[in-house]
Amino acid sequence: MTMARKEVRDNNTIIYRPVDRRDNYVKRCVGLPGDTIMIRSGKLFINGQPGPESEGQQVTYYVVTNGTTINPKAFERLNIYKTDQQMISSSVYQLPLTNQNAQTISKFTNVKNVSTIFDTPGNFVPWIFPYKPELKWNEDNFGPLWIPVKGATVKLDISNLCFYERIIDVYEDNDLKVKVTLYILMVRLRTVIPSGWTTTG
């Protein structure tokens, strides 16, 4: 059994998910109830203040070489897994790197440039919560999002329901239904004729 477990772990990327398997796993908690979180150009802000950066925090980088490849042993020493090494062209890598690893790689003799990759503000990414095109959120430009605190009252409407509907429907096991009422206001048009006459229709 131990050998089989080692074989699976050594040759596969294992992703842990919640028991219900309906949501992605939580990678890092950055906000508490009552906090407002926001990301701008890849930088986290909590209640308007820059959030803490962990030592192992990674950002995606382009690494441009002189046309030669980076020694696989160098990647091993930096704990950059093969599954994370994406070749864009014969001289460009796309890599998730810590700040320290980015600095180390930038000093390699065959590396010409190391630069961060951030998505542009206003570019909607469909797999980013709450999956609403009107918000135009992405990994690098997100929020502001307020995290409800116990005892607070949240007024729900069509504009903010997307933030809470899954909590209400799935995790609190309620039967959430939205009824949309359409109001049509009939307006009579009044046109002024140059001669002074008016007509309505």
C-alpha pair distances (Å), 104 with each of 27, 53, 107: 25, 19, 6
Report how far residue 194's alpha carbon sits from residue 154's, in angstroms, rounded to the nearest whole number.
Answer: 53
State what percent of residues in the chain have pLDDT above 70.
76
pTM reported for the whole predicted model = 0.66
Judge whether residue 201 has pLDDT over 50.
no
User: What is the torsional sign of CA 125, 126, 128, 133?
Assistant: positive
pLDDT confidence bin for 150, thresholds 50/70/90: confident
Rounded to 10 degrees, the C-alpha dihedral 20/82/85/57 comes to 60
CB 28 within 8 A of CB 58: no
Query: Is the pLDDT higher at 184 or at 196?
Result: 184
The tens digit of pLDDT for each residue in 48-63 reads: 999 988 778 889 999 9
The pLDDT score that the predictor gives to residue 77 is 95
The tens digit of pLDDT for each residue in 85-131 reads: 999 999 999 999 999 999 999 999 999 999 999 999 999 999 999 99
Report how far residue 47's alpha carbon sits from residue 76's, in angstroms, rounded to the nearest whole number.
Answer: 38
Q: Cα–chain-centroid distance for residue 197?
A: 60
